[in-house]
Amino acid sequence: MNKPKVLISRRWPASVEAKLQQLYDVTLNHDDQPLSADQFRLALQNYDAVCPSVCDSLPADVLNVANKRCQILGNFGVGFNHIDIKAAQANKLIVTNTPGVLTESTADIAMTLLLMSARRGAEGDRLVRAGQWQGWCPTHMMSSDVTGTTLGLIGFGRIAQAMARKAHHGFGMKILYFKPTPADPAVVADLQAEACSSIEDVLSRSDFVSLHCPGGQATRHLINAERLSLMKTSAHLINTARGDVVDSQALIHALRNQQITGAGLDVYEGEPNIDPGFLDLENVSLLPHLGSATIKTRTAMGDKVLANLEAFFSGKPLPDRVV
């Protein structure tokens, strides 16, 4: 029996690629260069399964290609706002994702950015590397405290709760959160967390605001100029969610004019094309989308995709079906 044909859009951990080669007639992306829209259209016509990553764009004009062979998009990542879900449904394409396995690693990066922004870590690193440090001084590079301050979370899912545990139990931070639906009472009690009635309430009361909401049209520019103006001038904004949740121009203006003290970003609008306005700011820490980038986590993500493909091709219920 012929093996199903599977396309992998980017390089995956070697152990996962080895499993793919055993199980499927798989095409790997050895050059690890992003595929074009036309390459994705051809893939949809020539493969049984296409496995994109969160950096790939699959809009309706790609998914609507004629003569499709593909039946399933095995997404490498939790977020799926890069896939036009309505178009996928209209084209009878199953979409799966990889939830649950990247919670702690992404929460670690959120805390890393919080600490970098608060204590001016990236700025200090640049100073030392440039040979400009002239020694310890009582007033040099004074920064913001973390311990005992208030962390506000926009969204209160797995990653936000993991960050809250690190912040509350590790740094004694007070936890505020906004979530449209009720949170697990046991989690709230463990964190001594306070639910806020609005995003605006979180923004105005927090020393650090961390974003943990999905991407997509409903949350595009959720953090805009008006909402940034509600934050304390001493506050920091952390984004490990999706780049388009924040209006880049509004954030650059707020940072440049000291409306807020700092920001830490792991995701960007239109990444990897970062707004150049961020690059000349000292009060923003910038990481290259490292949220899930540990060996253990990325391997587990690949194994999640494999589990979804195995279930699909054997006619079993899919463990991580989006649509």
Count Cα atoms within 13 angstroms, Cβ side, for 249. 0
Q: Which amino acids are annotated catalytic?
A: 242, 271, 289
Burial of 294 (0-12, 13-18, 19+ CB in 10 A): middle
Amino acid occupying residue 70: C
